[in-house]
Amino acid sequence: MTPAPVQLVWFKRDLRVADHAPLAEAAARGPVLPLWIVEPGLWAEPDASGRQYVVQRAAAAELDADLAALGQRLVVRVGEAVAVLEAIRRTLGIAAIWAHQETTGAFGHARDRRVRAWARAHGIPVHERRQTGVIRALASRDGWARRWEAFTAAPIVTPPRALVPVVIEPGRIPEPAEIGLAPDPCPGLAPGGRRAAESLLASFLAARAATYRRAMASPLAGWSACSRLSPHFATGTLSIREAAQASRAARARAPGPLREGIDSFLTRLAWHCHFIQKLESEPALEHRALHPACEGLRADGPGTERFDRWASGATGWPFVDACMRCLAATGWLNFRARAMLVSVATMHLWLDWRPVGLHLARLFADYEPGIHWSQVQMQSGSTGVNTIRLYNPVKQGLDQDPDGVFIRRWVPELSFLPAPAIHRPWEAGVSGYPAPIGDHAALAVSARERLWSVRRGEGYRRAADAIQERHGSRRSGMRQTGQRRRAAQAALDLDP
Ligand SMILES: Cc1cc2nc3c(=O)[nH]c(=O)nc-3n(C[C@H](O)[C@H](O)[C@H](O)COP(=O)(O)OP(=O)(O)OC[C@H]3O[C@@H](n4cnc5c(N)ncnc54)[C@H](O)[C@@H]3O)c2cc1C
């Protein structure tokens, strides 16, 4: 008897068996072929890097073990998606494809279009389910927060009890070099995989969240006070719903500061989806400034001295360099330090946000296109609707690293300097560390002037209002009245 065609579950950035609706639904219908496609084309994109792959690989290895315990190992194939699917169709037959919706960059969009056309041609249904609060083909932002609450409160999907084995060679997870990835040393990279995610969530909700609000702004204290779950949301080893429900349960029994920390964390879980929704609704924001008047403001990127010094952690502003070097060595930074790196690059150094964003994307082990490009646009003043913050690189160091501990760790050339002198080494006549790339205060004023002249332009406000309507949050706390919105549009915050 010929075996029945398989129910193919295509794992992408949802590398877990828990809270996985496509897996559960597929398993209820017949033998499941769980597939992970390693696409060399995707890994050749300019925003991809070896460290991101290492995190995904670890997640896929644990997923393989979890699926094996259910009865069927993860099937790994390297190649172009349609070619991989076609080979499986020819040998086993495919009854249906099950997957989570994914908000991706241009490569993923084009690949999904090709797969849908191929599936249609062969009469194979493709069933996609939501895995975050992001809503496909969203008509209006009204009511979005309510729908996010409902999505995250829905029951967690239990994994199937067992999978019927399929006769197929499982394949092997390739080494980074085998798919053309250049070496990407990252000695401080945090481990990927479901077990690490569970342990981070548990320690955060039990204790670490108590210092979260106080410490999240510092790259030093934030290392242990932030959840550090972002690479897990990016690879899907933990779902947003699992994190939200565990947080709500922990919150109910948590004392004061712990409860407040968990509340802030829950707010950020909603931000995760709020920002990805922007790319879902406007895929072009990966490449084009949201506000048309902000397009083409800057042109410079790699190859200019300003870019290369910023990218290599050699601006001569110690706190900025420490943040860049920490990121290069660990794949992680807290929110404020990320924002400052973009602000310094695109304001003080007047570099184009696109190559700036690409450089950071490759360094982020938690790279999530929807959050990343929305944030890069926001911090570079390209959205037209947010207050623009020009971070003062020296003041940020004094505020977030007053004793210079973080700088000493990442810029050892300066380790002999006491604080506060370590924040302004040029005043101490230090050798062996670059002189500052410029006078940051003067550079900030000049950036502000340039941005002001754009914001004063004809029709600027009208376009900004339309952007706010399309992408702005409607949450009560964040709702912007016309007056507040205009104030935000007019605001250029210098960090004196
Ligand atoms: C320029 C820039 C680029 C960024 N790129 C990314 C990216 O590629 N991937 C990514 O996950 N985050 C990105 N962020 C958002 C934020 O900095 C990280 O999510 C956070 O630092 C990750 O650490 P954590 O998991 O400990 O966060 P926590 O503070 O513990 O927050 C928990 C989760 O909430 C979400 N979250 C927190 N802050 C934000 C925020 N401001 N916007 C959206 N979601 C948020 C994340 O999913 C995070 O894992 C970026 C921020 C900036 C300014």
Q: pLDDT tens across 183-211, in order? A: 999 999 999 999 999 999 999 999 999 99
How far apart are the CA of 124 and the centre of ligand 1, in A? 37
Which residues are registered as beta bridge partners of 163? none
3-state secondary structure string, the chain? Answer: CCCCCEEEEEECCCCCCCCCHHHHHHHCCCCEEEEEEECHHHHCCCCCCHHHHHHHHHHHHHHHHHHHHHCCCCEEEECCHHHHHHHHHHHCCEEEEEEECCCCCHHHHHHHHHHHHHHHHCCCCEEEECCCCCCCCCCCCCCHHHHHHHHHHCCCCCCCCCCCCCCCCCCCCCCHHHHCCCCCCCCCCCCCCHHHHHHHHHHHHHCHHHHHHHHCCCCCCHHHHCCCCHHHHHHCCCCHHHHHHHHHHHHHHCCHHHHHHHHHHHHHHHHHHHHHHHHHHCHHHHCCCCCHHHCCCCCCCCCCHHHHHHHCCCCCCHHHHHHHHHHHHHCCCCHHHHHHHHHHHHHHCCCCHHHHHHHHHHHCCCCCHHHHHHHHHHHCCCCCCCCEEECCHHHHHHHHCCCCHHHHHHCHHHCCCCCCHHHCHHHHCCCCCCCCCCCHHHHHHHHHHHHHHHHCCCCHHHHHHHHHHHHCCCCHHHCCCHHHHHHHHHCEEECC
Which residues contact residue 1 at a Cβ distance below 8 angstroms, ignoring those fewer than 6 apart? none
In percent, the amount of the chain with pLDDT more than 90 equals 87
To test the pocket of ligand 1, the residue of 216, 366, 388, 475 to mutate (highest count of ligand atoms within 8 Å of its CB) is 366
pLDDT over 60 at 490, yes or no:
no
Please write the tens of the pLDDT for every residue from 129-155: 999 999 999 999 999 999 999 999 999
pLDDT over 50 at 323, yes or no:
yes
Name the pLDDT band for 465 (thresholds 50, 70, 90). Answer: confident
Which residue ranges have their beta carbon within 6 Å of ligand 1?
A: 216, 226-230, 233-234, 265, 268-269, 271-272, 275, 334-335, 338-339, 342, 364, 366-368, 371-372, 375-376, 379
| pLDDT score for 457 | 77
How far apart are the CA of 196 and the centre of ligand 1, in A? 18
Average confidence (pLDDT) over 375-389? 88
Nearest to 374 by CA among 278, 272, 471, 485: 278
Name the pLDDT band for 493 (thresholds 50, 70, 90). Answer: low
- Dist CA 340 CA 376 (whole Å): 11
In percent, the amount of the chain with pLDDT more than 70 equals 95
- Dist CA 367 CA 382 (whole Å): 20
Tokens of 1: 């008897």
Please write the tens of the pLDDT for every residue from 27-74: 999 999 999 999 999 999 999 999 999 999 999 999 999 999 999 999
Average confidence (pLDDT) over 101-121? 97
> pLDDT averaged over the chain?
94
Name the pLDDT band for 461 (thresholds 50, 70, 90). Answer: confident
pLDDT over 80 at 491, yes or no:
no
Tokens of 487: 């104030």
| pLDDT score for 467 | 82
Please write the tens of the pLDDT for every residue from 294-304: 998 999 999 99
| pLDDT score for 455 | 84
How far apart are the CA of 230 and the centre of ligand 1, in A? 6
Name the pLDDT band for 496 (thresholds 50, 70, 90). Answer: very low
Average confidence (pLDDT) over 424-439? 96
| pLDDT score for 1 | 57
pLDDT over 80 at 487, yes or no:
no
> Between 388 and 240, where is the model more confident?
240
The predicted model scores a pTM of 0.95
Name the pLDDT band for 417 (thresholds 50, 70, 90). Answer: very high
pLDDT over 50 at 476, yes or no:
no
Which residues are registered as beta bridge partners of 494? 390
